[in-house]
């Protein structure tokens, strides 16, 4: 086991590169009754990721962040190849915020042999993202299962921006009886409302301005729904708004039950409702969502 250290004042960040290194380092802490908070990431870190870390620090004795760009959840090879890799910057951010451990495995470490397992989450992964990214959530399920089994945290932290992924992971944890609490942290947004995302760095200056259309349409739709406007009328207006913007291409804009992701036509009688959307701005695909009730 090799441990690499980054020093900032008196704080030490330990970089772990193998499953065995994680097991050995964390077992000592578990024996001391320390609670472990875990934030899985694919790197290209931004303030949204750091808010997960801050939440983990508030309720855990020890915080571990993983950085692993998981190839099995990309159904588009070009998307995988264009995913931003910013390891040095990520390490500096995590050092500055004061995490205790960083798990930085290679693809060979995570997948020493070809994966044969496929995961099916029923209706949860047949809608929204599942329609446009077949196989994506199977890849997510496999890698999250691996990471949770390697780290064995008390709590693991995920952002609300990836609402469908949160629902999938909660189902995964329940179905496999994984002993971990899933903590969902609210979406962190830029000043103009754009949800923070690792993909935002791929937007040029013009596209960055156009990208606010996602949040603006979500807020418009929420206000109209609460005012009693018919959902299909709202969606038609949103679709036209995207159609009128040449650099934006809407994939979906749906009203759903937050936990089951069942598509809805109205909010009346529902206890938990969200609007979910995905769109291309130029060649960059972005997702977002907004809770209604």
Q: Is 51 annotated as a binding-site member?
A: no
Q: Is 197 annotated as a binding-site member?
A: yes
CB contact set of 217 (below 8 Å; sequence gap of 6+): 238, 241, 242, 253, 277
Q: Is 46 annotated as a binding-site member?
A: yes
Q: Is 20 annotated as a binding-site member?
A: no
Q: Is 243 annotated as a binding-site member?
A: no
Q: Is 154 annotated as a binding-site member?
A: no
Give the residue numbers annotated as catalytic, written as ranges.
49
Q: Is 49 annotated as a binding-site member?
A: yes
Q: How far is CA 192 from CA 11, 72, 79, in A?
A: 35, 33, 26
How many distinct helices (H) and strands (E) make up the chain?
Answer: 11, 10
DSSP sequence for 129-145:
HHHHSTTHHHHHHHHHH
Task: Report residue 69: phi and psi, to 5°.
Answer: -85, 105
Residues 172, 180: contact at Cβ < 8 Å? no
Q: Is 21 annotated as a binding-site member?
A: no
3-state helix, strand and coil shares in percent for the chain, rounded to the nearest 5 = 45, 25, 35
Q: Is 164 annotated as a binding-site member?
A: no
Q: Which residues are annotated as a binding site for ATP?
A: 42-49, 159-162, 188, 196-199
Q: Which residues are annotated as a binding site for beta-alanine?
A: 73
Q: Which residues are annotated as a binding site for (R)-pantoate?
A: 73, 165
Q: Which residues are annotated as a binding site?
A: 42-49, 73, 159-162, 165, 188, 196-199
């Amino acid at each position: 086991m090799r441990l690499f250290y980054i020093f900032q004042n008196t704080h030490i960040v330990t970089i772990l590169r193998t499953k065995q290194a994680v097991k050995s380092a964390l077992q000592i802490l578990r024996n001391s009754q320390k609670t472990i908070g875990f934030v899985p990431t694919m790197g290209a870190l931004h303030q949204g990721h750091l808010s997960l870390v801050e939440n983990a620090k508030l309720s855990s004795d020890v915080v571990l962040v993983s950085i692993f760009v998981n190839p099995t959840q990309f159904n588009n090879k070009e998307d995988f190849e264009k995913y931003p890799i910013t390891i040095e910057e990520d390490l500096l951010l995590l050092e500055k915020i004061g995490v205790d451990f960083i798990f930085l495995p290679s693809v060979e470490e995570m997948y020493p042999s070809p994966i044969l397992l496929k995961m099916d989450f029923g209706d949860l992964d047949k809608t929204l993202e599942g329609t446009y990214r077949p196989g994506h959530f199977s890849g997510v399920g496999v890698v999250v299962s691996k990471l949770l089994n390697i780290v064995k945290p008390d709590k693991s932290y995920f952002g609300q921006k990836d609402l469908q992924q949160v629902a999938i992971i909660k189902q995964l944890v329940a179905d496999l009886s994984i002993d971990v609490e899933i903590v969902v942290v609210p979406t962190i947004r830029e000043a103009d409302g754009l949800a923070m995302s690792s993909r935002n760095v791929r937007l040029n200056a013009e596209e960055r301005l156009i990208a606010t259309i996602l949040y603006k349409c979500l807020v418009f739709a929420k206000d109209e729904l609460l005012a009693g406007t018919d959902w299909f009328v709202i969606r038609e207006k949103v679709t036209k708004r995207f159609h009128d913007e040449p650099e934006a291409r809407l994939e979906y804009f749906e009203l759903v039950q937050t936990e089951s992701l069942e598509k809805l036509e109205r909010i009346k009688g529902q206890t938990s409702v969200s609007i979910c959307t995905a769109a291309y701005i130029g060649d960059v695909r972005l997702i977002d969502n907004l809770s209604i009730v």
